[in-house]
Amino acid sequence: GRNMTPQTLFAFDQIKEKNCYVADNYATEAKKAALYDSGRGGKRFRLPDGRELLAPASAELCQAPEALFNPSLLEPLENQIPGALETRGHGISRLLQESISQCERDVRPELYKSMLVCGGPSMLPGMQRRLQKEMACVMPHSIVSSSSKFRLHLPPHRRHSTYLGGHILASLSLFDTIKMKRSEYAECGPSLVDRKCC
């Protein structure tokens, strides 16, 4: 791997968020991009050091985010990046629905009402609309038919929600009773989480 400085990672995030998007219909977007003459157009992006990049208007701008919904798009990477498909399987909407369906039946309605979308990819244009559409296809009909029972929330500070949640948890007095050392986890495995946190 290359030496990735925080500035480089920040620039990559900025390029991704200003140029990439989540397509409503990936197949349609890919066809449009194939017809587009890549020699024309695109979006300009200024790097922190002042250099400019031209991000071409192509299917690649929505292909990377599409892998969140269709992980099979990552299959060509398997030979180039060992382990790229370790999370092989369903897309984000199916995983979210399966996670909720594994919870106790009486808490599921509350979970469907309070789905929180966080992290860097949630910043991409079109994410909320597409995830809403995809979730409607995989959720139980009784939930979909009642719009008041199904809500996606995208908080304003969602890019840093994981850090903020960890920071809040670590500041609670409860944290001392649930924290675990790496050596403890190595010895006990995932069952330690059940013992300390449940």
Q: What is the pLDDT of residue 167?
A: 92
Q: What is the pLDDT of residue 168?
A: 92
Domain annotation covers residue 91: no
Q: What is the pLDDT of residue 1?
A: 46
Domain annotation covers residue 43: yes
| Contact indicator for 133, 172 with CB cutoff of 8 Å | no
- From 10, 35, 66, give the residue that closes a domain: 66
Q: What CA–CA distance (Å, rounded) separates 132 from 125?
A: 13
At 91, list the tokens: 């897309």
Residue pLDDT, tens place only, 120-141: 888 899 999 999 898 888 877 7
Q: What is the pLDDT of residue 40?
A: 54
Low-confidence ranges of the chain (pLDDT < 70): 1-3, 34-42, 55-58, 77-88, 142-149, 198
What domain range includes position 21?
1-66
Count: domains in the chain: 2
Domain annotation covers residue 15: yes
Q: What CA–CA distance (Å, rounded) separates 136 from 12?
A: 32
* CATH code, 45: 3.90.640.10
Domain annotation covers residue 116: no
Q: What is the pLDDT of residue 83?
A: 58
Domain annotation covers residue 62: yes
Closest by CA to 71, choosing from 26, 137, 133, 14, is: 26
DSSP 27: H
Domain annotation covers residue 56: yes
Domain annotation covers residue 147: no
| Main-chain phi, psi angles of 153, to 5 degrees | -115, 130
- From 13, 35, 66, give the residue that closes a domain: 66
3-class DSSP assignment, residue 53: strand
Domain annotation covers residue 108: no
- From 15, 43, 66, give the residue that closes a domain: 66
Q: What is the pLDDT of residue 35?
A: 66
